[in-house]
Structure 1
Amino acid sequence: MDELIPSLAVYLLVLTRVTAFFVTAPLFSYRSIPATHRIILGALLAWMLVYSIDAPELEIDGAYLLLVMKEAMTGLFIGIIAFIVMSAIQIAGGFIDFQMGFAIANVIDPQTGAQSPLLGQFFNSLAILLLLALNGHHMLLDGIFYSYQFIPIDQLWPAFGEERLIEFVVRTFAASFAIAFQMAIPIVATLFLVDLALGITARTVPQLNIFVVGFPIKIGVSFVVLFITMGVMVQVMRKLFEVMILSIRDLMVLLGGG
């Protein structure tokens, strides 16, 4: 019994970090995955991690509660930073929808339960399939495994709230916004030229109802450009996955005091 209690204490800490990671991480936090399945997966993963990491013996006391809070915040932070990077895909879809005129036709994203632009939903579904095809879910699970090398389980309080951490989150969000702009710029720039041409047409032919003619033209041009640049979009998504993994690693280094 004396040997069981320290093992149980370590298991509960690992389970806290893993389940907190599943709450915010892309793919694992989606509503399409039943909560029961996520709990079972988290419990099995935590059970394997207990025997894979070099965990010291711990006792359940007052300091243990602080360790539980630290583990929960660590898992949430790692998942949130990955979610911020992946949100660039929906931001790019929002840019394109706004220029196309689809901004008023948002739909409910069944994965997150939030409103999502039409093309943002399409890009998000494509990114999920690409992430699974490239074994990105394995890389996410590797991130939670290697987090114990940077943030030991018995480290009482990582570098939460430090200026470097805040600056890192801001830079990550800015990089995600830049990637979203790179994804949207081919279609947005093309639609700007279409708007310019329609404006010139409206000035030269005032009798033409430019709003009735321009809307289907913009939609058609957008889909043509999207079809042409789809290969580039996929490559940018792959680059986005690399940024996500590197951001997770850098975050763990900062939280571990590196």
Structure 2
Amino acid sequence: MVNTAYFLALILVFIRLTSFFLVAKSLFPKGTPPILKGAIGMILSFSIISGINYQVVLEINNNYMLVYSVISEIMSGVILGFIANMIFDFIRMAGGYMDIQIGLSMMNMLDPSSETTSTPFSNLSYFISMVIFFIIDGHHLLIKCLIQSFKVVNIGQNIVFQDTFSVVLDAFREYFVIGVKIAIPLVLIIIITDLCMALVSRTVPAINVMILGMPVKMVVGLLTFIALLPIMIKIVSYAFNLIPDIIEEMLKVLPAAPMVLIFAKEEKTEEATPKKKSEARKKGQVARSKDVGLAITMVTCTLVILLLSSMIVGNLKDTMIYFLQSGMLQDINEMSIKSIVITILLKAGLCILPVVIPIMIAGIVASLMQTGFLLTGEPLKPKFSKLNPISGFKNMFSKKSFVDLLKNLAVVTVIGFIGFLYVRDNYDKILQISNTYLPSLGGQVQDLVVGIFFQVSLVLVIIAAADYFVQFRFHQKDLRMTKQEIKEEYKQMEGDPQIKSKIKQKQREMATRRMMASVADATVVITNPTHLSIALKYEEGNNEAPKVVAKGADLVALKIKEVAKENDVPIMENKPLARMIYEQVDIDREVPQEMYQAVAEILAMVYKLKNKK
């Protein structure tokens, strides 16, 4: 019988390994035949398949899951190959830094293994790193990591998670630092050499430093590179040993929410608390639609054209007449220039301010309508999280961006269509406007402009209302909280319930200890006799009435009687009085007046017993 699960698992393992080999170009240069890569991948697949659990492929019962498994294996292989290849790229980078300082960066040559141009020290550093890689059995290390990846990430599962990119970025940072560490000694030495050559040139101008400097830097650079080889070997070996740690760190993030085609998070189902809404408002995170401001501004412009256009045109006409008539007749001197400037500002203000002020007020009103009075500098603070490419990619393909795209397309389409219809309906009127009597030309132009502005404003108001509703819904959804976040907020506001219960327990224990210590100084203990115990203290001259210093029921009552016996405190039985005091009198309170008679009888008996002794 054919074992389909075995062959399906074998194919998925082969896909992951082949993806790894295709990305890890440093291990398999450009000239490596694809058949050889496939053969090595198939051989390793047959070797690995027997040591892993491939029964998980039985869960693949439809085409969607099969496609998902194939994509997951490809992405897993690509990421692992990228990490393995990264160290060699940064070693090349270190060699490139060296060549720039030495002056060999101009000697670019085509590297047939990678089909890229590289410099001499870049190639030399790469070949040395490859030799070190095979000397320390780095290929065995990679194979072990690949086998381990199948044990942690089962066949068909995805390695791409929210924190995976953070691990890759950390690896990028770590290897970049390693590349700089390799190059920095030689770079510093060459810089010092350049400074020395500059001092020589300053001291002995006759020496041609431009001609002498190149061979000197090449010799110094080559000698320094040879001297740095032991350090370089140590750093490169350390870098290769980091590969398993990075892959292990990546595999540790597997319990996080997966991220393949979407960026999933813990489900936020709870409405935001008032505290969360208040904090969001302080940060400037409020429901806001830019179309509201645009619509109100457009309506304002329409009203300005309709109501103030005659005044604005009249002011422009008066200004032009003034400067063409009387303005040109003034003598040019210091006083007249000041007068002319003031006149220009006043008349320009009469023309510009009637347009600018209403539009500015409209913008302020539109902002206040949406957010109220809100003054915060939080959005202006520089945050490196805003430069996160993952967050940018997420925002680019979010539902909100998709809705904004549809809205913008709708706005452009609707406004374009309205403009087309308006021009079509007024086409003859526009063509005949050149035949209009000049004094009445302004009125016709005003009617045409107001007409198109009115129609566009009406559409923008409708779109702005719909967009604000959508933005408000998105804002409410963004503010939603998980059940865990609500619990954490409750803990911050009210305190951790477990800690509060422990504090209360400690307080009760301390109160009980203080109460038991007071029993030793009590005058008498009144009992039920088994369920209740009340310790009273009365000192003639110090107390107006007997005071309850301790009381308790059941086990606490027994403890009070034990302490009383140990300290020779009289114990009297009076069931009605004991129950009455227990229910009505708190600790450290004096007994009320209606109990004086009963308590006095008890105290009389106690004093009589003491006198007999």
TM-score normalised by L of structure 2: 0.40
Question: Quick one: distance in 1 between partners of 2:159 and 2:139?
Answer: 26
Q: Report the counterpart of residue 61 of structure 1 in structure 2.
A: 62
Where in structure 2 are the equivalents of 1:8-87 lying within 5 Å? 8-25=7-24, 27-56=26-55, 57-58=57-58, 59=60, 61-62=62-63, 63-87=65-89
Question: Quick one: distance in 1 between partners of 2:5 and 2:123?
Answer: 46
SS at match of 1:75: helix
The C-alpha deviation readout for 1:3-47, integer Å capped at 9, x for no partner, is 432222111111100100111125433224322211111011111
2:49 partner letter:
V
Task: Identify unmatched segments of 5+ residues in structure 2.
Answer: 258-613
Where in structure 2 are the equivalents of 1:189-228 lying within 5 Å? 189-228=188-227
Most deviating of 240-249 and 39-48:
240-249
1:113 aligned onto 2:115: yes
- Aligned residues between the structures: 254
Question: Quick one: distance in 2 between partners of 1:38 and 1:152?
Answer: 23
Question: Quick one: distance in 1 between partners of 2:254 and 2:124?
Answer: 34
Task: Identify unmatched segments of 5+ residues in structure 1.
Answer: none
1:248 partner letter:
I
1:141 partner letter:
I
Does the 8 A contact of 2:102 with 2:218 survive in 1? yes
Question: Quick one: distance in 2 between partners of 1:143 and 1:256?
Answer: 19
2:19 partner letter:
A
2:145 partner letter:
G
Distance 1:53 1:144, change over 3 A: same
Question: Quick one: distance in 1 between partners of 2:118 and 2:85?
Answer: 15
Does the 8 A contact of 1:105 with 1:117 survive in 2? yes
SS at match of 2:30: coil
Query: Which residue among 124, 146, 149 is the counterpart of 1:147?
Result: 149
Question: Quick one: distance in 1 between partners of 2:27 and 2:228?
Answer: 29
2:83 partner letter:
I
* Greater relative contact order (Cα < 8 A, sep 6+): 1
2:200 partner letter:
T
Does the 8 A contact of 1:90 with 1:121 survive in 2? yes
Question: Quick one: distance in 2 between partners of 1:72 and 1:159?
Answer: 11
Most deviating of 27-36 and 48-57:
27-36
Distance 1:111 1:246, change over 3 A: farther
The C-alpha deviation readout for 1:174-226, integer Å capped at 9, x for no partner, is 11111111111111111011000111112222222211000000000011111
What displacement does 1:257 show? 4.3
1:198 partner letter:
M
Query: Which residue among 100, 103, 110 is the counterpart of 1:101?
Result: 103
Does the 8 A contact of 2:30 with 2:112 survive in 1? yes
Question: Quick one: distance in 2 between partners of 1:153 and 1:49?
Answer: 12
SS at match of 2:107: coil
Q: Report the counterpart of residue 135 of structure 2 in structure 1.
A: 133
What displacement does 1:103 show? 1.1
1:48 partner letter:
S
Q: Report the counterpart of residue 186 of structure 2 in structure 1.
A: 187
Q: Report the counterpart of residue 176 of structure 1 in structure 2.
A: 175
Query: Which residue among 86, 89, 92 is the counterpart of 1:90?
Result: 92
SS at match of 1:229: helix
Does the 8 A contact of 1:31 with 1:112 survive in 2? yes
1:108 partner letter:
L
What displacement does 1:256 show? 6.2
Question: Quick one: distance in 2 between partners of 1:116 and 1:255?
Answer: 38
1:61 partner letter:
N
1:186 partner letter:
P
When the two chains are superposed, the root-mean-square deviation of aligned CA atoms in Å is: 1.8
Question: Quick one: distance in 2 between partners of 1:219 and 1:256?
Answer: 53
TM-score normalised by L of structure 1: 0.92
